[in-house]
Amino acid sequence: MIDLELLACPRCDRALERASDALACSGCRIDFPSVAGIPWLFAEPGAALEEWRGRLRFSLQRVDRDSEQLRAALARDDLRPATRARLAHLAAATDDHGKRLRSLLEPLDLEGHAAAYATQLALRTRLPPDQGLTTYYANVHRDWAWGDEENAVSAAIVDGLLADAAPKRVLVLGSGAGRLAYDLHRRRAPATTVALDFNPLLVLLAEQIARGARVELYEFPLAPRGVAEQAVLRTLAAPSPAPPGLEHVLADAHRPPFRRGVFDTVVTPWLVDVLPEPFDTLCARVNALLEDGGRWLDFGSLSFHDPDPAARFGVDECVAALEDNGFGAIAVEEHEIPYMCSPASRNGRRERVVAWRAVKQRDVKNVPRHYALPDWIVRGTEPVPLTESFQVQALSTRIHAFIMSLIDGRRSLKDMAKLIVEQRLMSAAEAEPAVRSFLIKMHDDSRRGTTY
């Protein structure tokens, strides 16, 4: 059970208390539940839980749809034996996969009732739109089935950054499927290692496997080597149960539910370049989590993709930001490692990763609270800004809607282009190529079973 001395409310930063089988904030008058014994410490726990339930329900429905499509394809009488064998293998595996996932996700009560969205909106928090059941799913198999080489190299790099330090309280922020947190906890034996991630599937698996459970789940390789590798039932298991002190938490890295200065080590694996906030803000947030002299160990590709070119930092800019946010004694290394090299897949690569150790030398006083939504969305009383991207999207949407309205089974592509010119939406030189591109995408999406 996680130590209360570590925890703080992700809404107001007050200390949390135990209340029956939940944690509670007396200031906010709200309870934070647990899922399969794992604290659920999102800033708005009810809304976040229901949003994850919705995403997971949708993902399971997609598994069911995939199964139906495979069964329908199998019913055709024009299949070669090799194709029939592949589809039969995939259909059986997909059916079984859905059952296994539903069993694993039972603690989330996916048939529960919807929670109000208003409180989440008021707090201006939200889950990243690209996160769901299958996000980073391949990492589960890398961490607990076939990734011994990558796991060992990754753990050795981070372990080397610690040098001769003897950490007592470690936080792995963005722990994913949990293998690095597990390996560091075994290697260094701190009193407490907290593994935080916001993906329930990954954390549920990490918790069970680290405690010694063996879980069977299917891997669906990106580029399968043969029929048998289209879907491989893997046994996910740790080398041995984790020593006492490894704790898992479901929460948002933007709103870490911890008191100031309670950790001597914070590890961020493959995280700093994927968070949708300025790197300087993350530096301040990590600074607040560390005690004086505490260490920030980072490990990953360091490949920023921010819309703002100025925010796509290189290593030297990261070092400067670290120094500006209270860190010193910064040591940076680069290592080449294997990355996601499944034995069942033809796909896999070598990755050159950046790793650093930075020591906290002074406090950052004002750590900005993370808000994912601006006031003009939350309050609804301020003008919606007419940004350049909004203008482009508005024009695209108008044109696409108009093209869709012209599809009546009688007009040709050229007829539609002529009407667009008459409506002064495009010039004659632009209209026909634009309609053709739009219809090509519609055609391709329909063949893939998706919608525009």
Q: How far apart are CA 180 and CA 173, in angstroms?
A: 11
pLDDT tens-digit map of 390-448: 887 887 788 788 888 999 999 999 999 999 899 888 898 888 988 998 898 888 877 76
pLDDT score, position 52 = 87
Question: Average pLDDT in the 291-303 region?
Answer: 96
- The segment with the largest mean pLDDT, out of 37-51, 131-145, 167-181, is 167-181
Strand partners, 32: 23
Cα 31–256–243 angle (5° rounding)?
A: 90
Question: Average pLDDT in the 209-220 region?
Answer: 97
Is a pLDDT exceeding 60 seen at residue 117? no
pLDDT score, position 24 = 94
Q: Which residues contact 34 (CB under 8 A, 6 or more apart)?
A: 21, 22, 23, 40
Question: Average pLDDT in the 106-127 region?
Answer: 59
Q: State phi, psi for 255 to the nearest 5 degrees.
A: -130, 65
Q: How far apart are CA 8 and CA 22, in angstroms?
A: 14
Lowest mean pLDDT among 9-23, 271-285, 386-400: 386-400
pLDDT averaged over every residue in the chain: 90
pLDDT score, position 375 = 67
pLDDT score, position 451 = 36
What single string gives the DSSP state of each residue in 240-297?
SPPPTTEEEEE--TTS--B-TT-EEEEEEET-TTTSSS-HHHHHHHHHHHEEEEEEEE
Q: What is the dihedral of CA 137, 139, 145, 147, to 10 degrees?
A: 160
Question: Average pLDDT in the 351-360 region?
Answer: 97
Residue with the bigger pLDDT between 4 and 376: it is: 4
Cα 245–134–152 angle (5° rounding)?
A: 45
Tokens of 122: 């008021």
pLDDT band (50, 70, 90) for residue 129: low
Q: Is 338 exposed, middle or buried (0-12, 13-18, 19+ CB in 10 A)?
A: middle
Tokens of 165: 């330090």
Q: Which residues contact 444 (CB under 8 A, 6 or more apart)?
A: none
Q: How far apart are CA 54 and CA 51, in angstroms?
A: 5
pLDDT score, position 120 = 46
pLDDT score, position 130 = 57
Percent of the chain predicted with pLDDT > 90: 69
Percent of the chain predicted with pLDDT > 70: 92
Tokens of 121: 């909106």
Q: Which residues contact 154 (CB under 8 A, 6 or more apart)?
A: 180, 183, 269, 299, 337
Lowest mean pLDDT among 16-25, 265-274, 356-365: 16-25
pLDDT score, position 372 = 62
Q: Is 447 exposed, middle or buried (0-12, 13-18, 19+ CB in 10 A)?
A: exposed
Strand partners, 170: 193, 265
CA-closest candidate to residue 397, choices 423, 431, 373, 425? 425
Is a pLDDT exceeding 70 seen at residue 115? no
Residue with the bigger pLDDT between 310 and 109: it is: 310
Question: Average pLDDT in the 136-157 region?
Answer: 96
Tokens of 73: 């394809």
Residue with the bigger pLDDT between 231 and 45: it is: 231
Question: Average pLDDT in the 93-112 region?
Answer: 90
Encode burial over 113-150: b for 16+ CB neighbours within 10 A, e otherwise.
eebeeebbbebbbbbeeeebbebbbbbbbbbbbbbeeb
Instruction: Identify whether the C-beta of residue 414 lies closer than 8 Å to the C-beta of residue 432.
Output: yes
pLDDT score, position 450 = 45
Stated pTM of the model? 0.85
Q: Is 422 exposed, middle or buried (0-12, 13-18, 19+ CB in 10 A)?
A: exposed
pLDDT band (50, 70, 90) for residue 373: low
Q: Letter for the amino acid at 375?
A: D
Instruction: Identify whether the C-beta of residue 335 lies closer than 8 Å to the C-beta of residue 352.
Output: yes
Lowest mean pLDDT among 132-141, 186-195, 235-244, 415-424: 132-141
pLDDT band (50, 70, 90) for residue 365: confident
Lowest mean pLDDT among 60-69, 92-101, 169-178: 60-69
